[in-house]
Amino acid sequence: MFDILLSNMDETENPLYLQIYNQFRERILTGDIQSNTRLPSVRALQLQLNISKTPIETAYQMLVAEGFVYSKPQSGFYVINMDEYESRQQNKQPDYFLNTPTPDELSVKKKYIIDFDPSAVDNEFFPIRTWKKMLHHVLENYSNRIGEYGDMKGEHFLRKTIANYLRNSRRVNCSPEQIIIGSGISYSITILTRLIEGIRYVAFEEPGFEPVREQFLQNGYEIIPIEVSNNSFGIKKLEESGAQMIYVTPSHQFPTGRVMPYTEREYLLHWANKHNAYIIEDDYDGEFRYLGKPIPSLQSIDHQGRVIYIGTFSKAFTPALRMNYMVLPMRLLKKLESIHHFLSCPSRVEQWAMHAFIEQGHWYRHIRRMRNKYRKKHFTLMECIQTHFANKVEITGHSAGLHLQITVKTRLHEKELLKLAADKGVRVYDFQKMRINKTQSSYPSIYLGFAGIREADLEKGIQLLKEAWSHSFIE
Amino acid sequence: MFDILLSNMDETENPLYLQIYNQFRERILTGDIQSNTRLPSVRALQLQLNISKTPIETAYQMLVAEGFVYSKPQSGFYVINMDEYESRQQNKQPDYFLNTPTPDELSVKKKYIIDFDPSAVDNEFFPIRTWKKMLHHVLENYSNRIGEYGDMKGEHFLRKTIANYLRNSRRVNCSPEQIIIGSGISYSITILTRLIEGIRYVAFEEPGFEPVREQFLQNGYEIIPIEVSNNSFGIKKLEESGAQMIYVTPSHQFPTGRVMPYTEREYLLHWANKHNAYIIEDDYDGEFRYLGKPIPSLQSIDHQGRVIYIGTFSKAFTPALRMNYMVLPMRLLKKLESIHHFLSCPSRVEQWAMHAFIEQGHWYRHIRRMRNKYRKKHFTLMECIQTHFANKVEITGHSAGLHLQITVKTRLHEKELLKLAADKGVRVYDFQKMRINKTQSSYPSIYLGFAGIREADLEKGIQLLKEAWSHSFIE
Ligand SMILES: Cc1ncc(COP(=O)(O)O)c(C=O)c1O
Ligand SMILES: Cc1ncc(COP(=O)(O)O)c(C=O)c1O
């Protein structure tokens, strides 16, 4: 049944383990080897193929690492359940920090007609022509610097430009020296954890942005979850927690979408000042606000250097660039020199291009354009949901950002809703993973990102969701 | 004397601390406030300016952080010695991981007519036109992916292309799954330290590449220095060390330039297999070899997955791209999924461009071209040194790579040679910083990088060095 073919010299010159791995993978993906099948034992395959154990063990390890196979202690290796696999792929999406690259991803992707991926942004309106012009311009004009390492904190003039932009748009108060340009929030957190000293307890929004939480956990910090919902934030718990740092997303809480009210911001700063604590303000989609008047960033009302502000080009521009920035309070700069071995800035060429893009006014134009675009998508989506679902869902977290939350009046669980939606070709998101303490609230909450979907497809997506779920609604 | 002008609302709206900082910085840089001057105490300035202490303290802290001022306990703040400052800038260069971005850098740079910077590469031959074409091509053709996060391990097809390149050029044996594309060696080491378990003792070449050594130290590893010279490597010490990992640069030892002989490579693998240890093979300039026949990479003769291979685009292409890659042995892949929050790949756009660049054959053409170019620079430099210095210097570490070592027959110290060279407008490098245990060998060793210098300038540089040093030669 498991006729694995080996050649010592196949045309690709693949080593044995790779040949074995490839053949198993392909047959699992095509369904030739079915879900939950037990693979032959290493010993059995060894006898069959007449080779040493090592390549077989290696291939199996690789299948496990890539998620096609799991091992049961004392029993052997089993093909994973493809249904589970798909739902795992779905659950995995929210931590968009590791999309498996293997063909399976494509095959899973293809199954969806519409994917409300909260991490995706619009690609139709990406200013390709202008960006190309910027790249062209800087490669011609900075070619004399292309042979050199630059400043690993980021190019100085880009940091200056970002400082200005942040002052104008988010009232962030900083000098270029305080800015560190990086390749994403995981990099910023890596650097930050090198700079802070004597901190052990980190308060974290619950639910909250799991990748950052995991990073703190794996760095040995203790996480204190502070419950946040559409209309509350566990201030009392924070006060008693002994936390020395807190991570928050005040512009548009991830994932609930809540906007932190002004008084709470003041309270947070008060708390930080009182305890000499730090606040990480992750302003990932602060550029987009639809309802209510803008509330100043925490950094802008911090007068004692308690806020670490983190922003990104991933939302307002593109996540493909992998460029973000962190604004450090002055007192954290002191140690920077001694940890500079950890610094590694993103491409200088793209930093030059970004500088030119902003300086020449394209950035402000782009942001205005995207604001309008997303505002339209946002209201279209809201309208569709209201039209099709009426009072069967409650929409929250929709006054800012690029995703919203719906709570569905059904007795089904999140997972079941996801499955039903997937059967119709629609992918929606369940952010249970964003919680440390799993709880089951009365009705399931589902997340829809709209930035990456064409406006014309929004209605179709909602219609399909209605078809998928309507039989389960509670009257 | 220290008439600092403050406005609550100057045209830049700079906060007070920034105004104070800027004024001091400018006046230090222009020499208006001289080296070693004691700055007014915080209290004195406070009285003079009639403001609170905080902005003054902040400004002083910032001046310290940026290296313009140092504080003497119980005494106050002093402007640094500008000579020392410059030599510090020079010593700093070797860890090219933090070039201060401030105007001072430019002013220091300008002083050098010729800078034998070992981190710089040729910028005249960077294929601007072709690279622009690639960027153009991928922005047009991949625009449908620009709204999405990709695989944080790196784009799969680029990893495949790199695997092929490494197989062809360095005989590295790996599948794309084993490759992680990153933004430089500091990133690779950050990821690696997350994957290895139970390792505490890391052997390190002495002298060796300080940024990586520092990273291990700051991550809590213990470093065991293994002495390496032009003709020896401390095998015996390694054998007895209890080390569980070793970092080596076998193609062209950094900084001595030694090429590790084949038998030593075999020995190292033998050692690693025997102790279940890992070898980090940093092949940073493995593309360039001038004398002797190429020796296979350690990874290519490793059959038990003991070698972690790290390569970079910084030498053969440009450090401005900030792109490198690490090849992990299979057994280290297992944990990858669980640490994926730490991953952050470089720009996807440039990854696409690099893929196209390699696939279309430009990469191989470029490497051939640079090999010829650097071979010529290398031999020109050797010739100049021999002509001008004859038997007053010994050249070593010159059979590969982009820098070489000269040992000068003088009674002066490294620092003095650097200073004399600087007075003539030439910058050369002293790699004492690359040692943990400072030793003073009989004659001082100086390093010269040649990749970033135009061929026509090499002779001039050497001539100036001769003029600078000749009075000190020992007969
Ligand atoms: C809560 C949150 N923070 C930060 C980010 C931005 O991450 P990065 O700048 O690494 O792309 C995201 C991305 O989706 C996010 O959801
Ligand atoms: C010994 C050594 N390793 C690695 C590198 C490459 O570093 P990166 O890929 O981070 O540019 C260098 C750069 O000069 C180096 O000297």
Confidence of residue B294 (pLDDT cuts 50, 70, 90): confident
Which residues on chain B are in Cβ contact (under 8 Å) with A310?
Answer: none
Mean pLDDT is lowest, of A11-15, A383-387, B285-289, B412-416, for: A11-15
Mean pLDDT is lowest, of A25-34, A166-175, B6-15, B297-306, for: B6-15
Question: Any chain B CB within 8 A of the CB of A143?
Answer: yes
The pLDDT score that the predictor gives to residue B454 is 94
Closest chain B residue by Cα to residue A214:
B341
Give CA angle at B97 (B95, B99), nearest 5°: 95
The pLDDT score that the predictor gives to residue A95 is 32
Interface test with A, best of B341, B355, B370, B434 (most A CBs within 10 A): B341
By most ligand atoms within 8 Å of CB, the mutation choice from A209, A310, A321 for ligand 1 is A209
Letter string b/e over residues A381-390, b meaning 16 or more CB atoms within 10 A of that residue's CB: bbebbeebbe
Predicted ipTM of the assembly: 0.80
By most ligand atoms within 8 Å of CB, the mutation choice from A312, A313, A322 for ligand 1 is A312
Ligand 2 atom 9 nearest Cα: B184
Which residues numbered 14-53 in A keep a CB inside 8 Å of some CB on B?
Answer: 14-15, 17-18, 21
Please tell me the distance from the alpha carbon of residue A236 to that of residue A221, in angstroms, as a whole number: 21
pLDDT average, residue stretch B443-455: 95
The pLDDT score that the predictor gives to residue A100 is 32
pLDDT average, residue stretch B191-198: 96
Which residues on chain A are in Cβ contact (under 8 Å) with B321?
Answer: 347-349
The 10s digit of each residue's pLDDT in B330-345 is: 999 989 989 999 999 9
Among all bound ligands, the one having the nearest atom to the CA of B322 is 2
Residue B244 CA to ligand 1 center (angstroms) comes to 36
Residue B144 CA to ligand 2 center (angstroms) comes to 34
From the list A58, A135, A349, which residue is nearest B321 (CB)? Answer: A349
CA distance A474 to chain B (A): 36
How big is the A-B interface in CB pairs under 8 Å? 262
Is the Cβ pair B153, A101 closer than 8 Å? yes
**Cβ of residue B185 lying under 6 Å from some atom of ligand 2:** yes
Question: Any chain B CB within 8 A of the CB of A71?
Answer: no
Ligand 2 atom 4 nearest Cα: B284
The pLDDT score that the predictor gives to residue B186 is 97
CA distance A429 to chain B (A): 16
User: Which residues, listed in sequence order, are joined to residue A404 by a DSSP beta bridge?
Assistant: A448
Closest chain A residue by Cα to residue B163:
A14
CA distance A88 to chain B (A): 13
Ligand 2 atom 5 nearest Cα: B284
The pLDDT score that the predictor gives to residue A85 is 62
H helix runs in A37-127, sequence order:
42-49, 53-65, 82-92, 103-110
Mean pLDDT is lowest, of B38-47, B86-95, B309-318, for: B86-95
pLDDT at B102 over 60: no
Closest chain B residue by Cα to residue A167:
B13
What residues contact A8, with CB distance under 8 A and at least 6 apart? Answer: A16
What atom of ligand 2 comes closest to residue B312's alpha carbon?
Answer: 9
Is the Cβ pair B21, A175 closer than 8 Å? yes
Report pTM: 0.81
The pLDDT score that the predictor gives to residue B464 is 97
pLDDT average, residue stretch B31-47: 86
pLDDT < 50 regions, chain A: 1, 9-12, 89-108
Residue with tokens 């002989």: B261
The pLDDT score that the predictor gives to residue B32 is 78
What atom of ligand 2 comes closest to residue B188's alpha carbon?
Answer: 10
Confidence of residue B365 (pLDDT cuts 50, 70, 90): very high
Residue A98 CA to ligand 1 center (angstroms) comes to 13
Better pLDDT: B386 or B101 = B386
SS3 labels along chain B: CCCCCCCCCCCCCCCHHHHHHHHHHHHHHCCCCCCCCECCCHHHHHHHHCCCHHHHHHHHHHHHHCCCEEEECCCEEEECCHHHHHHHHHHHCCCCCCCCCCHHHHHHHHCCCEECCCCCCCCCCCCHHHHHHHHHHHHHHCHHHCCCCCCCCCCHHHHHHHHHHHHHHHCCCCCHHHEEEECCHHHHHHHHHHHCCCCCEEEEEECCCHHHHHHHHHCCCEEEEEEEECCEECHHHHHHHCCCEEEECCCCCCCCCCCCCHHHHHHHHHHHHHHCCEEEEECCCCCCECCCCCCCCCHHHCCCCCEEEEEECCCCCCHHHCCEEEECCHHHCCCHHHHHHHCCCCCHHHHHHHHHHHHCCHHHHHHHHHHHHHHHHHHHHHHHHHHHHHHHEEEECCCECCEEEEEECECCCHHHHHHHHHHCCEECECCHHHCCCCCCCCCCEEEEECCCCCHHHHHHHHHHHHHHHHHHECC
Please tell me the distance from the alpha carbon of residue A311 to that of residue A159, in angstroms, as a whole number: 13
Cα→Cα distances A266→A269, A286, A296, B22, Å: 5, 18, 11, 30
Is the Cβ pair A346, B342 closer than 8 Å? no
Residue B459 CA to ligand 2 center (angstroms) comes to 27
Confidence of residue B83 (pLDDT cuts 50, 70, 90): low
The pLDDT score that the predictor gives to residue A13 is 54
Better pLDDT: B91 or A30 = A30
Q: A144 exposed, middle or buried (CB, 10 Å; 0-12, 13-18, 19+)? A: exposed
Mean pLDDT is lowest, of A85-99, A218-232, B107-121, B125-139, for: A85-99
Give CA angle at A51 (A49, A52), nearest 5°: 140
Please tell me the distance from the alpha carbon of residue B475 to that of residue B462, in angstroms, as a whole number: 20
Share of chain B above pLDDT 90, in %: 69
Ligand 1 atom 3 nearest Cα: A284
From the list B96, B321, B348, which residue is nearest A320 (CB)? Answer: B348
Is the Cβ pair A342, B186 closer than 8 Å? yes
Ligand 2 atom 3 nearest Cα: B284
Which residues on chain A are in Cβ contact (under 8 Å) with B377?
Answer: none
Domains of chain B: 1-85 (1.10.10.10), 129-361 (3.40.640.10)
Confidence of residue B421 (pLDDT cuts 50, 70, 90): very high
By most ligand atoms within 8 Å of CB, the mutation choice from A181, A185, A216 for ligand 1 is A185
Confidence of residue B8 (pLDDT cuts 50, 70, 90): low
Among all bound ligands, the one having the nearest atom to the CA of B187 is 2
The 10s digit of each residue's pLDDT in B202-260 is: 999 999 999 999 999 999 999 999 999 888 899 999 999 999 999 999 999 999 999 99
**Cβ of residue B319 lying under 6 Å from some atom of ligand 2:** yes
Cα→Cα distances B243→A234, B200, B246, B253, Å: 48, 8, 7, 20
Is the Cβ pair B344, A148 closer than 8 Å? no
Question: Any chain A CB within 8 A of the CB of B109?
Answer: no
By most ligand atoms within 8 Å of CB, the mutation choice from A314, A322, A402, A429 for ligand 1 is A314
Question: Any chain A CB within 8 A of the CB of B143?
Answer: yes
The pLDDT score that the predictor gives to residue B286 is 85
Residue A284 CA to ligand 1 center (angstroms) comes to 6
Residues having CB closer than 6 A to ligand 1 are A 119, 184-185, 209, 249, 254, 282, 284, 312, 314, 319, 324
Residue B284 CA to ligand 2 center (angstroms) comes to 6
User: Which residues, listed in sequence order, are joined to residue A400 by a DSSP beta bridge?
Assistant: A289
**Cβ of residue B93 lying under 6 Å from some atom of ligand 2:** no
Ligand 1 atom 5 nearest Cα: A284
Is the Cβ pair A340, B98 closer than 8 Å? yes
Is the Cβ pair A128, B140 closer than 8 Å? yes
Question: Any chain A CB within 8 A of the CB of B333?
Answer: yes
The pLDDT score that the predictor gives to residue B110 is 53
Better pLDDT: B432 or B386 = B386
Tokens at residue A14, please?
Answer: 């693949």
